[in-house]
Amino acid sequence: VQLQASGGGLVQAGGSLRLSCAASERTFSRYHMGWFRQAPGKEREFVAKISLSGGTTYYADSVKGRFTISRDNAKGTVYLQMNSLKPEDTAVYYCAAAPVFGSREGDYDYWGQGTQVTVSS
């Protein structure tokens, strides 16, 4: 599965962005999807995940209440709506696909190329 992330950019603190991640294959609906991020000088960390049908979601505490993950299986796309952005949200954001509903990097078999999100104070 090839994943193409987009939607990153520069935004002021308090602003919003919506990231998208499009999959290349019709088997998209067979994968749980997740978003991770990596800030400069830090390890990549889990952000959010969504189950096969989209009925179950889970978030890192740092983004809970501000970010929303969703998916459209017909379009083969997963989204991350990011509201009330903070400078500490600045990172490269990656989408990933997994056969299990996990939160660890090792649970994910396929990764997108990443999209930069920069939040200015």
The span from the CA of 95 to the CA of 80, in Å, is: 9
Element housing 57 (H / E): strand 57-59
Element housing 72 (H / E): strand 67-72
pLDDT of 70? 98
**Could you report the average pLDDT of every consecutive run of 10 residues in the chain (121 residues)?**
96 98 90 97 97 97 98 96 98 97 97 97 93
